[in-house]
Amino acid sequence: MIDWYFLLFIAFTLVILLIDKIGSHRSVHEFTNAGKEVGLSGGTYSLVIQYMTGATVLIPFILTVKGGLSSFFIFTISSFILYLILKKWTVSLEKIDGILPDQFNSPGKFNTATILIFGFSSIGSILIQTSLIVILFRDFFQQPSYLGVFLFLIFSYVLFGLGGKMGVTRVGSLILIGVLFTMSFTVLTLYLRTGTDAVYQRLITSFEGIFSGSIWENSSYFVSFILVMAGQTFTSFYFWESVKTTKPNHRLSALRYSSFSWTALLLSYTAFTMYLLSQTQISSSIQLLESVIQSNTIIAHIFIYTGISILAVGTGHSLYSIVSLFLYILTVRKTQESSPSRILKTGYFFGMIMIVILGLAGVLLSDSFEKWLPYFMSFFTAAAIPFFYIYVKDQFSIKHFSLTVGLMSLISFVLNITITDRLIIVPLTAVITLVLHMLVTKFK
């Protein structure tokens, strides 16, 4: 089984590396700004961190089992589409400020609905990834779920909640480099040792073909993946702050390289899953995941450490976003008696409360994970559609965006309760959101 001492050693090493930065911020500005503008490498790392969510490790594994080789095309096209959408926003600081105004340069611009949407998005991301940790510990490791959640959230809070943006970017970059190197090196080694043709022949023998699933299923998976990932990205406070702190002449290149790196990571997981499928006769993603984890081989350890690392980074930047949004509200509404240091400590305390609440919620709701997950998928889809609409119309209104997503947050409850076919929830949400947003934009 998993070597806990090795995992704890890595966690403590990362904490020690940043011990002088953790909680040393004296103001809100220092907490939300890691320093001066960053260049190409710093901007690329910070943007890729946003893509390192639970979906990055979970979706490739599930989708490849169901769709086979078609998942390669789905992930490549998805990252390219997301890049094209984001490209329109990275070149203009005014467009970025139109989404989430700078609390220091534009203190008078305060949109409660937008803050709630961004905050709910981060809460949903943490809840999803915490529930995955619970499921991993309880169902696969046969360990108490509270133990896994406690260690996981304490690590995330110390480095990302107390560490601020410096903690997210520095630790996230270290984990990112480790994950990219480990996955690419592992996949390359496995295919060189076994042989690409041997893997291909085993897949042909074990399955009817390396392309599986109907066109409808693969199309639904494609739409779901791109819209959910887009919605998570567009409603991430950390992502837009990272775009703003990247030097203007490097923003587009940083976005391009980050998209390429994310695609490489997705394809690495897909190739890894294809290799696992060629070695077994299992056709269920849950059974395959269980067989890998319980095999107690070096491959199992690599997969587990990589998966937990991605979940930690995803939780980390979402936690940072929640605390930053809370500090943003306090900064805008602060009184003369409130010192910057006191405001920051209040934010730390708020982050601790959120971690406790979301940790308990993750443990309690993990049993019904498959029932409530489609709701958040629907929510992220609703948040993505206005940006896709903007790509065609080239018009954006924060009021229209807030109204559309706010209404869809309520409609998604109804959809999640009434629809049993999970494949159509995201496509149906996309259609309803598009129609609703077109109607909303008619109003001034």
Q: Which of 30-34, 71-75, 174-178 has the lowest mean pLDDT?
A: 30-34
Token pair, residue 162, equals 């107390």
Q: Looking at the domain assignment, is residue 235 inside a domain?
A: yes
Q: Looking at the domain assignment, is residue 382 inside a domain?
A: no
Q: Looking at the domain assignment, is residue 352 inside a domain?
A: yes
pLDDT of residue 323: 93
Mean pLDDT for the stretch of residues 311-318: 92
Judged by DSSP in three states, 108 sits in: coil
pLDDT of residue 339: 81
Contacts of 293 (CB under 8 A, 6+ apart): 140, 141, 300, 303, 304
Contact 303, 57 (CB under 8 A): no
Alpha helices in 100-250 (DSSP H): 112-135, 145-156, 164-194, 196-206, 215-234, 237-245
Q: Which of 22-31, 92-101, 232-241 has the lowest mean pLDDT?
A: 92-101
Q: Which of 34-48, 93-107, 140-154, 309-323 has the lowest mean pLDDT?
A: 93-107
In the chain, the number of structural domains is: 1
pLDDT of residue 242: 87
Q: Which of 46, 36, 55 is nearest to 243 (CA)?
A: 46
pLDDT of residue 382: 93
CB atoms within 10 A of CB 364: 12
Does pLDDT of 103 surpass 50? no
Of 57-66, 288-297, 335-344, highest mean pLDDT: 57-66
Contact 412, 375 (CB under 8 A): yes
pLDDT of residue 444: 60
pLDDT of residue 2: 58
For 167-188, the pLDDT digits (tens) are: 898 888 888 888 888 888 888 8
Mean pLDDT for the stretch of residues 301-322: 89
Mean pLDDT for the stretch of residues 381-387: 91
Contacts of 303 (CB under 8 A, 6+ apart): 272, 292, 293
CB atoms within 10 A of CB 169: 24
Q: Looking at the domain assignment, is residue 404 inside a domain?
A: no
Question: Which CATH number does the domain housing residue 298 bear?
Answer: 1.20.1730.10
Distance CA 288, CA 273 (A): 9
Does pLDDT of 357 surpass 50? yes
Q: Looking at the domain assignment, is residue 233 inside a domain?
A: yes
The residue type of 296 is N
pLDDT mean across residues, the chain: 84
Mean pLDDT for the stretch of residues 404-431: 89
For 245-296, the pLDDT digits (tens) are: 888 888 889 999 999 999 999 999 888 888 888 887 777 777 787 777 777 7
- How does residue 21 score in pLDDT terms, banded at 50, 70 and 90? confident
- How does residue 319 score in pLDDT terms, banded at 50, 70 and 90? very high
The residue with greater pLDDT, 357 or 286, is: 357
Mean pLDDT for the stretch of residues 416-426: 86
Judged by DSSP in three states, 74 sits in: helix
Does pLDDT of 153 surpass 50? yes
| % of residues, the chain, pLDDT over 70 | 91
pLDDT of residue 93: 66
Q: Looking at the domain assignment, is residue 392 inside a domain?
A: no
Distance CA 243, CA 168 (A): 14
Judged by DSSP in three states, 163 sits in: coil
Mean pLDDT for the stretch of residues 19-32: 84
Q: Looking at the domain assignment, is residue 430 inside a domain?
A: no
pLDDT of residue 428: 93
Q: Looking at the domain assignment, is residue 406 inside a domain?
A: no
| % of residues, the chain, pLDDT over 90 | 24
Does pLDDT of 108 surpass 70? no
- How does residue 109 score in pLDDT terms, banded at 50, 70 and 90? low
pLDDT of residue 130: 93
* Residue 314: domain span: 4-369
pLDDT of residue 124: 93
The residue type of 158 is V
Q: pTM of whole model > 0.85?
A: yes
Q: Which of 388, 396, 368, 371 is nearest to 430 (CA)?
A: 388
- How does residue 244 score in pLDDT terms, banded at 50, 70 and 90? confident
Does pLDDT of 210 surpass 90? no
Q: How many CA atoms lie within 13 A of 120 on its CB side?
A: 19
Contact 54, 311 (CB under 8 A): yes
pLDDT of residue 322: 94
- How does residue 104 score in pLDDT terms, banded at 50, 70 and 90? very low
Q: What is the DSSP letter of 21?
A: T
